[in-house]
Every structure is written in structure tokens, then in C-alpha cells.
Homo-oligomer: A and B are copies of this chain.
Amino acid sequence: MPSASSQSPQAIRGAFLDFVNDPFYVSDAESVRYIPDGLLIVEKGAIADFGSYADLQAKYSQVEIVTYPGKIIMPGFIDTHIHYPQSEMIAAYGEQLLEWLNKYTFPTERKFRDKAYAQTIASLFLDELLKNGTTTALVFATVHPQSVDAFFEEASRRNLRMISGKVLMDRNAPDYLTDTPETAYEESKQLIQKWHNNGRLLYAITPRFAITSTHEQLRLAGKLLQEFPDVYLHTHLSENLKEVEWVAELFPECKNYLDVYDRAGLVGEKSVFAHGIHLSEDEFKRLSAAKAALSFCPTSNLFLGSGLFKLHKAKSLNQPIKVGLGTDVGGGTSFSMLHTLNEAYKVAQLQTQSLSAFKALFLATLGGARALSLEDKLGNFDPGKEADFVVLDLQATSIMATRTGGLSTRLAQGSTETELREELAEKVFGMMMLGDDRAIHAVYIAGELVHR
């Protein structure tokens, strides 16, 4: 449970939007929860009560209320795939995945041997996340254990629910960035014991990808996952065609890319695979059966020219896969989940699919929580959950105001539920296409205002 400095109840009043079910599988009426004039009660960092102001006001008449007129309050955004050490090399020019790793990523990650440096970048990274309304993330560190310590120390100072882990790489990477199967196992084990469930922090065993781990290293990662079944497995899968070809050469005995991980015991309910662009039918099937998650990283996929993620395939009713969204900074060129939704929409459009604002925002909140098996703690305003949320300004820039102008007040008034929802859909779609960090009016972590 998060500890908040203020122990007395707090109340936030405003328009609240969250999801109680998955709009890919049920109607908007059954999945979207919109309360035009709602009240959120926070106690000891958690949501104590939630409902319409009219229903709750009498019960909490003694509690001081903070009101956000004209804004929309949503659960904090969840980024299911990002690399904190790549913050400073965001938007590096001209390459696709494999060349980009060698030219930019590896030299940058080398610096994280120095813990003080790692701490500086971790701090900057977390500030950027919060500024963009992202309150939880699944985060790559580097191969250096001290890079994980630095990250978790900074996350802990901010009382954030964060998941990270030491990168495992014992081949096809520069000497200065490689470990061995044994050191990878030992160092990860120590880090798990030190950080997993330490406050709000959680650990992910993090082989970079099949190319940079030997079979032996993957096997030991699987052993570790068996010893600590509660920790995550976080890696990359099928991002780039050349990568997929190389994996096939390196693991000729495996029937496909996912099978490399599967044979090592790395495909389970707490496994999160970034990208999954070029998956075969068998791989989709296996991911669904294993209840593993995919992290869809549209900005990165476009920036690195990796390809178009088949979202509607992954979210099909008959073979559902848990999907979250990832910025994938530094392959992604923005920390903003709103930008990420904008790009997700485009990836869908290029495949003649439309991604509605509700589906998109679901992926960024409750969908992300489900992908990270954190649905019991995060993702919506259900009482008992942790009080991480964002206050969104739909008129943050002049063009946003032009596009959504005049709706705020109408939204707060009468209308039928369907009308309200349709107007809201249009309005939040404008926000996701036009918004950036300026639309993040305020951010609360465990009920405390941390960014405004």
C-alpha cells in the first residue's frame, strides 16, 4: 500500500473518465464510466470512495474539496515499455533497429556503469514521465545492476509504482555491455530480493532479446522466473524483419521467435513482450493461451520503420491477447501517452481500422494495468486501488480550445447518457490527436499532487 504523507481524507471533484471493462469486447455503454460531476475520496494514498458528487456530498461534507472545473480526471497513464537510459538519445537519426542499437544505444548505455550518472538520468526520466501524465511504467535499465539501483531509488523517492530490471546480454553486444549467464542470474536474483515488492516497486527479469542472450542465459532466466513466479519477464519480440531472420538463424531448433522464449520457460501470465509486429498465427495463438501481454509501441514502430502492429488481430474476441501501450523511448520519440495514442490511431488507419478514443484511452489505463497484471491496484477509480491520477486540460493550447471549445459546460449538464458519451468521445479524440504534455494539468501520486 502506498504511504501518503497526508493521512486525513482528501476529496477531488470534477469530471471523471475511466473504464470498468474492455471496450474492444463490450459496448462503450458497458465499458466507459463517465461521471460529469464526480467526487473521488482518497485516504492513505488509496481510493476510499468514488461516485457522483450528488450521491457522496453529504457523506463527506467535512472533507475539504479540491475542484477542477472544465477538466477531465483520468487514471494515471501506464507505459508498458520504455528504456530509461535512452532518454538522452531520444530521436537519433537514420537507422532501423539493429544498426540503431549499435550506433546509438549501446554507446549510450555504457555510461550507466556510473551510478551517479544513472541517477541523474533516472531522475530526469521520471520527471518527464510525470510531466506527461504517466504514473506507472515497465522500464528497461541497462546491464549494470547499479543502473537498476539508481532507477529504483529515484522511483522510491517519488513513491511511484514502477517495474524495472537489469538487462541480460551475453552475446552480440559490445564487451563493455555484456554479462554471463551466471552473473546475469546472480545479479538479477540479488536485485529481486532487494527491490521486488519494496514499497511500490516490482521487478522484471529483462533479457534484451533473443539475439543478445545465449540459450544458456535464457535458460537461467527461466530458472529464476520459476524461483520467483511473482516477478515479471520483460523483453522484445518480433520488432523488425531482419531481427526475426537473425533469431531464426541463431535458434534453428525453435519453430518461431516466441518459441525461443517459450522453451526457456519465459512465456507466462507475467510476461510482457514489446512490439510483436511480425508474429505468425502460431505465435498469436500461444500468446493468447499463455495469457502473456504485448506492448504496442506505435511511435517507435514508425520512427524505426519497424512496421504496423496488428492491434485488431491481437485484440480479437476469439483469441484475445492482453495489450498495453508503450512509448519505447528512445526508439519512440515522445514520452507522451497522448502522442502515442495519436500514432496508434495512424497505425490502425494505415490498416483501414479505426481506433476510437475510448479504446485508445482504455489501452493507456486499464488495458495497461491488465497487461501488467496490476488490475487489482491500478487502472481505474475503483475503491481500494492506488490513487494515481491525472487531470487533463482539453483546452491546453489554442488549437485544442478551438477544436473542443464550448463543450465543457454542455458536458456537465443534462443530456442522455448516450449523447454525453458521444460528445465525450469526440472531445477526448481531439485531445488524443492534438494534446501533448501541456494537456497534463496536474498529476497525483498516491493522492498527492506531484506535478502541475
Q: Which A residues lie at the B interface, using CB under 8 A? A: 87-91, 93-96, 124, 127-128, 131, 302-305, 307, 333-335, 342, 345-346, 348-352, 354, 356-357, 397-399, 402-403, 425-426, 429-430, 433-434, 436-437
B349 contacts A426, CB within 8 Å? Answer: no
A349 to B354, CA, bound (A): 23
Number of this chain's copies in the complex:
2
B302 contacts A128, CB within 8 Å? Answer: no
Given contacts A131-B398, A333-B342, A402-B87, contact A93 B305 (CB under 8 A): no
Chain B residues, Cβ within 8 Å of A131: 398
Distance between A328 CB and nearest chain B CB, rounded to angstroms: 14
Q: Which of B94, B95, B128, B305 contacts A399 (CB 8 A)?
A: B128
A109 to B93, CA, bound (A): 40
A303 contacts B349, CB within 8 Å? Answer: yes
B402 contacts A88, CB within 8 Å? Answer: yes
Q: Which of B350, B399, B425 contacts A302 (CB 8 A)?
A: B350
A60 to B127, CA, bound (A): 46
B433 contacts A349, CB within 8 Å? Answer: no
Given contacts A91-B434, A302-B349, A333-B342, 14 further A-B contacts (CB under 8 A): A88-B402, A88-B403, A90-B433, A91-B403, A93-B357, A94-B354, A124-B402, A128-B398, A131-B398, A302-B302, A305-B351, A305-B352, A307-B350, A334-B434
Distance between A112 CB and nearest chain B CB, rounded to angstroms: 15
B434 contacts A436, CB within 8 Å? Answer: no
Given contacts A127-B398, A346-B302, contact A434 B90 (CB under 8 A): yes
B349 contacts A305, CB within 8 Å? Answer: yes
B91 contacts A429, CB within 8 Å? Answer: yes
B426 contacts A93, CB within 8 Å? Answer: yes
Given contacts A333-B342, A434-B333, contact A403 B90 (CB under 8 A): yes
A115 to B91, CA, bound (A): 44
A74 to B354, CA, bound (A): 38
Distance between A205 CB and nearest chain B CB, rounded to angstroms: 29
Chain B residues, Cβ within 8 Å of A403: 88-91
Chain B residues, Cβ within 8 Å of A88: 402-403
Q: List 9 A-B contacts (CB under 8 A).
A: A88-B402, A90-B402, A91-B430, A94-B354, A94-B356, A302-B346, A305-B348, A305-B351, A436-B436
Which 7 pairs between the two chains have the least Cβ-Cβ distance? A305-B349, A91-B433, A302-B346, A94-B354, A93-B429, A333-B433, A305-B350
Chain B residues, Cβ within 8 Å of A302: 302, 346, 349-350
Chain B residues, Cβ within 8 Å of A429: 91, 93
A90 to B403, CA, bound (A): 7
Chain B residues, Cβ within 8 Å of A397: 437
Chain B residues, Cβ within 8 Å of A95: 354
A91 to B333, CA, bound (A): 21
Chain B residues, Cβ within 8 Å of A436: 436
A94 to B434, CA, bound (A): 15
Chain B residues, Cβ within 8 Å of A93: 354, 356-357, 425-426, 429
A96 contacts B398, CB within 8 Å? Answer: no
A436 to B398, CA, bound (A): 13
A346 contacts B433, CB within 8 Å? Answer: no
A352 to B437, CA, bound (A): 30
Chain B residues, Cβ within 8 Å of A426: 93
Please name the residue on chain B nearest to A351 by beta carbon. Answer: B305
Chain B residues, Cβ within 8 Å of A304: 349
Please name the residue on chain B nearest to A124 by beta carbon. Answer: B402
Distance between A108 CB and nearest chain B CB, rounded to angstroms: 12
Distance between A297 CB and nearest chain B CB, rounded to angstroms: 13
Q: Which of B96, B356, B399, B430 contacts A349 (CB 8 A)?
A: B96
Please name the residue on chain B nearest to A131 by beta carbon. Answer: B398
B345 contacts A399, CB within 8 Å? Answer: no
Please name the residue on chain B nearest to A355 by beta carbon. Answer: B94
A324 to B434, CA, bound (A): 23
Chain B residues, Cβ within 8 Å of A352: 96, 305
Chain B residues, Cβ within 8 Å of A342: 333
B399 contacts A90, CB within 8 Å? Answer: yes
